[in-house]
Each structure stands twice: as C-alpha cells, then as structure tokens.
C-alpha cells in the first residue's frame, strides 16, 4: 500500500510537465515559441555555458522551421565543435478551447557539446 502512494505522488509531479508559457525548462530543453530566433539561440548557448552536455530543442507546428534555424545558427556561428544528435518527429493532439482536437507535428533536436 505504501508503495502505491509513492507512485501517485510521482504521477502528479509529471502532470505539471507542460508549461506553454516559458521557452525554457530546467532539464536542458528549449521550447521554441514566437519570440525572435536569436533569443532561443542565446538560451541554448547559455545552457551549454551552465554546464549542460546536451540541449534539446523542441517545437510544434509552424515553429518547427525556427527550431531548425536555431540549431543551425548555434552550430555554425557559436559552437562549431557541437554535434547534432538524434532528431525525432512526432504528432501531438491538441485540444483547443472549444473542445475540438487538432493534430500538430512536432520536432525534437538534440545538440551535443
């Protein structure tokens, strides 16, 4: 019984995972939003300067191309020694305010120091 309780606490921790507002998360992930490309480039470089070995850049929908721009600018202009790791694409289902569901593509690009 005690074990089960512990598990529930873990789950409720996970639920808060998605924060649509911020562009950064503490676990070395940069979420691409509607701000300028260079802001996200700076966010990635900062994470590396703070000791991260790998940074994950995520984006959805039309912002996918901005995510690719960010990774390319980081690699070519600021960190020529960095390598691109796994690139994954997937489909997410978003529920809009009126309850209708929309499918949207997403991308995840990993950059390694």
Q: Which residues of this chain interact with a second copy, rule CB under 8 A?
A: 61-65, 68-69, 71-72, 76, 84, 87-91, 105, 107, 109
Other C-beta atoms within 10 Å of 84: how many?
13
User: CA-to-CA distance for 20 and 89, rounded, in angstroms?
Assistant: 19
Given the complex with a second copy, which of 12 and 64 has the nearer CB atom?
64
Given the complex with a second copy, which of 4 and 91 has the nearer CB atom?
91
* Residues making up the chain, counted from first to last: 113
User: CA-to-CA distance for 110 and 85, rounded, in angstroms?
Assistant: 5
State the nearest-atom distance from the C-beta of 4 to a second copy, in Å: 31
State the nearest-atom distance from the C-beta of 28 to a second copy, in Å: 19
């Amino acid at each position: 019984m005690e074990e089960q309780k512990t598990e529930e606490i873990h789950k409720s921790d996970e639920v808060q995972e998605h924060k649509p507002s911020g562009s950064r998360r503490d676990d070395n992930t940069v979420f691409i939003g509607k701000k300028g490309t260079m802001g996200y480039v700076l966010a990635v470089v900062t994470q590396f300067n703070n000791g991260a070995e790998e940074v994950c850049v995520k984006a959805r929908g039309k912002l996918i191309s901005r995510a690719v721009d960010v990774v390319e600018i980081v690699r070519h202009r600021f960190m020529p020694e960095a390598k691109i790791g796994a690139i994954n694409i997937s489909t997410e289902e978003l529920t809009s305010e009126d309850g209708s569901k929309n499918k949207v593509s997403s991308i995840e690009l990993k950059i390694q120091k």
